[in-house]
Amino acid sequence: MTKTKTFNTKEQAKWKFVFAISFLILATVLEVSGYGNLRLGQMYFSAWLYMVGIIALIIAIKNHFYGGEIKYDERTQLLMLKASKKTFAILIYVAIGLMFMGTINPMKVDLMTIASVVLFSIIIMYKFFYWRLSKKF
């Protein structure tokens, strides 16, 4: 049996608040002090800080009001492992399919678009498999 790990998202919310507020303050300081045009890749650094800060703030508010104790026991860990394996397998099949398609008809794609599509697909696929497996096990 794998050891049960317990997390209290409500208790951790205060640290997320601190993290979010610091990012938002730092972004505002950069904007006010005239360093707002600093770039991080294709985005302005302050815009990136604002984005991360706002996302962290939303998560912190959600955890503070709706959070609670989460237990990762042996069943949960089994579900996570199975969902990860399935997501990974689909990712490999899709990659093979795209490579095969690329040999027939060469494609030019924007790396940033592909990266964001892959990232969100992985998250959605994982959540879907986890939900389906939790009905089975």
Partner 1 sequence: METKITELRKKLKITQQELADIVDVSRQTIVSLEQGRYNPSLELAHKISKALKQNQIEKVFLLK
* Sole window of 26-34, 42-50, 72-80, 90-98 interacting with partner 1 (rule: CB under 8 A): 72-80
CB of residue 10 vs partner 1: minimum separation in angstroms?
16
Determine contact, residues 98/25, Cβ cutoff 8 Å: no
Question: Which amino acid, residue 64?
Answer: H
Q: Which residue in the set 34, 106, 111, 136 belongs to the binding site for partner 1 (CB under 8 A)?
A: 136
Q: Is 73 in the site for partner 1 (CB under 8 A)?
A: yes
Determine contact, residues 60/13, Cβ cutoff 8 Å: yes
Q: Which residue spans within 10-124 are E strands per DSSP?
A: 39-40, 43-44, 69-72
Q: Which residue in 131, 53, 119 sits closest to 91, CA to CA?
A: 119
> Based on CB atoms, which residue is closest to partner 1, 8 or 37?
8
Q: Is 7 in the site for partner 1 (CB under 8 A)?
A: no
Q: Which residues bind partner 1 (CB under 8 A)?
A: 1, 4, 71, 73-76, 134, 136-137
